[in-house]
Structure 1
């Protein structure tokens, strides 16, 4: 009898692990726990923008650190959750769910979502210890994500090197955040640490993921082969080396590193946009509104580029602080949110298929969620234009009004995103069938 039990137990354990793997595979579809949390944080972020409007209108008292909390609702709260949820699927075979992978993914979710609220609480209250504990948990979750991505991808995959390199920049960004929390800085001091933190997270981590995802998906979206495949390497090295310079330069207080990194970064970004526009023109020229969101997003990513040398070379005459604030708003609300508007609901729908082949199903997901609204496209870009207007000396007297208009228009576009995202997160029929809507946008 004991011999019989020894033979049965391994099979029982294996069966339970298979079932657990199937459960997590299901959770990685429309009920993906990372994507559910992203929807929650983006919804709360929209409420924070509305709160910011209330402050501007004078309806409510100013809330401590509201602007930075709003930004982190988008970055760590929204888009980092999304990338934790979809990066393994983008990097390779997310459908190969093992017991170890399942445990690792739940560990990532738990540590990320335990750490992030602590960061928010620490930021809102000024409690350094609480924020540091939260950052430690987020860094731990990131370590688990790195393991998952490296297991899911191979060096020969089309976008693997983008997705395998990107999380390392997030590691650097979190370490820079630790420096700010613990008052440990490089030669660039506190503000150098802030710039290194932002550049690593945004220009490094998020930009590499966005570039890899665009280069992998646009042939499916636009119905044509990648127009300039040789520029893929230019994009990878341009963004990677450029972002490294943009991180190291402020931290080391070496302007030549910052400016050199910026120049290299622009080359990589131009190569990316050449492929995006070239592939669109070579294809059926459909999904024009989605292309408009992508181009609008990269407009606000690159808009600070010509201002950076002026801020560094003429700090006494150029309003550096106002430009820096507008640039951060552009990165978060102009670039990140527009890319989320262009693709996030469609990615959620694409992950709803049991094959987990996100890229090949993205075009069907795009048709399922419908095309973006012209109101959404116009409001987010005009809103960003208003926020950048606050940094222009001739418009200094209109800064308060421009801020109010800018946040109001961004809130309108953000509301479209939240509505589309929760609609996509609602269970519906499989997206594997033929499209029912017109491709033309």
Structure 2
């Protein structure tokens, strides 16, 4: 069961809210800026919450798709991952090199163990009917990119960038973790979970391999471009990745067109999160061309929170409550999470943060308001998740009490 991973993901999501509050206070100069707060926010979402979810869920989804027994939790993998995360998330804000390197190494070991577990989940017959329609290859590829991103990120503290001839190591690290790891992992979750939460199959299932290859090769281009300082690789990679992502959304949206019952706040969260994912598609040509009056360097360097809060976290607003209900409250109908309040405020936060990139004179207030709206948007989600967890733990206590009485 993925309960230990889900519990840790909930803890990291709660810490994201605290990190957002710290961003408001530091942005308004109420408290001094400490350490690498910007990178702490990013890693709480990507390495914290998202990684915990995929570690707990991927083996179950792959085993289910291949009609295999549900795998037992690997406590060695759980220990490596969470020990590494604790060390890394302490090392990042304190800028402690030894903790960052040790934490990154432990996380890398955990990722390798998970990849091996997913590879070993083979059906009895080699020709599985669902082999081309499942998210397994998305998970393995996304996790492989996570290893690469971790190596580059750790190398920032060890001087590997010069040895590996990486022209823009921070850009490579960001592209690997966002377009390589996060985007491909979320695509795999949509492929596997869409039929259960939408109660219908994806449109055009034969397009899924095309989506996979387009996103996987696109991520490779987005990484190799800044690595080798060859802009054409970045452009081609961005085009391929974008085409694959658009096709993914098409096969998600097409089956539910015209069915008003499906268009809940959760479905809107899931789909409109990709608005903020596609923002770099508009900005990237400006950055590559270097021929505009817009502050492209500022947009490129400081636009990360839009991807983290507007895209990844909002995607989680829809999917994580659905997963918590399925695993902690199995007798209750599972629905995509989110409310109209969370939907409106999360997008207001994205708009305000985007405004701050173009109008430096209002940057402190605009960003403070953005983080404030993002905090408000997450409160209904956190309340829902803690409620599901409490309900699940209560049922466990009740069952244990009954067994003791017998």
TM-score, normalised to structure 1, is 0.81
- Structure 1 residue aligned with 2:109: 140
- Structure 2 residue aligned with 1:149: 118
Aligned-partner SS, 1:372:
coil
Determine the C-alpha separation between the residues in 1 that align with 2:209 and 2:68.
Answer: 28
Q: Give 1:331's match in structure 2, choosing from 281, 286, 307.
A: 307
Deviation string, structure 1 residues 129-184 (Cα, Å, up to 9, x no partner): 22111100010111111122222355743222222322111111111112212122
Determine the C-alpha separation between the residues in 1 that align with 2:286 and 2:145.
Answer: 27
Determine the C-alpha separation between the residues in 2 that align with 1:188 and 1:402.
Answer: 39
Contact between 2:28 and 2:364, CA under 8 Å: does it hold in 1?
no
Q: Give 1:216's match in structure 2, choosing from 192, 197, 200.
A: 192
Deviation string, structure 1 residues 402-422 (Cα, Å, up to 9, x no partner): 111111101111222222221
Q: Give 2:77's match in structure 1, choosing from 79, 91, 108.
A: 108
Q: Give 1:382's match in structure 2, choosing from 345, 348, 361.
A: 348
Residues 1:408 and 2:377 aligned together: no
- Structure 2 residue aligned with 1:122: 91
Q: Give 1:81's match in structure 2, choosing from 33, 40, 52.
A: 52
- Structure 1 residue aligned with 2:9: 38
Gaps of 5+ in 2: 396-406
Determine the C-alpha separation between the residues in 1 that align with 2:328 and 2:377.
Answer: 25
Contact between 1:311 and 1:318, CA under 8 Å: does it hold in 2?
no
Residues 1:70 and 2:34 aligned together: no
> Which residues in structure 2 correspond to 1:206-355 (within 5 Å)?
206-281=182-257, 285-314=261-290, 317-352=293-328
Contact between 1:34 and 1:109, CA under 8 Å: does it hold in 2?
yes
Contact between 1:215 and 1:275, CA under 8 Å: does it hold in 2?
no
Determine the C-alpha separation between the residues in 2 that align with 1:390 and 1:153.
Answer: 49
Determine the C-alpha separation between the residues in 2 that align with 1:418 and 1:139.
Answer: 29
Q: CA deviation at 1:319?
A: 1.7
Deviation string, structure 1 residues 234-290 (Cα, Å, up to 9, x no partner): 211111111111111111111111100000111101101111110211656414322
Greater C-alpha Rg? 1
Contact between 2:329 and 2:391, CA under 8 Å: does it hold in 1?
no
> After TM superposition, what 4+ stretches of structure 1 lie above 6 angstroms from structure 2?
187-191
Determine the C-alpha separation between the residues in 2 that align with 1:39 and 1:316.
Answer: 42
- Structure 2 residue aligned with 1:96: 69
Determine the C-alpha separation between the residues in 1 that align with 2:372 and 2:57.
Answer: 30
Q: CA deviation at 1:96?
A: 3.0
- Structure 2 residue aligned with 1:9: none
Which shows bigger deviation, 241-250 or 410-419?
A: 410-419
Q: CA deviation at 1:423?
A: 1.6
TM-score, normalised to structure 2, is 0.87
Determine the C-alpha separation between the residues in 1 that align with 2:390 and 2:167.
Answer: 43
Gaps of 5+ in 1: 1-24, 355-360, 431-441
Determine the C-alpha separation between the residues in 1 that align with 2:335 and 2:91.
Answer: 38
Aligned-partner SS, 1:366:
coil
- Structure 2 residue aligned with 1:192: 168
Contact between 1:187 and 1:251, CA under 8 Å: does it hold in 2?
no
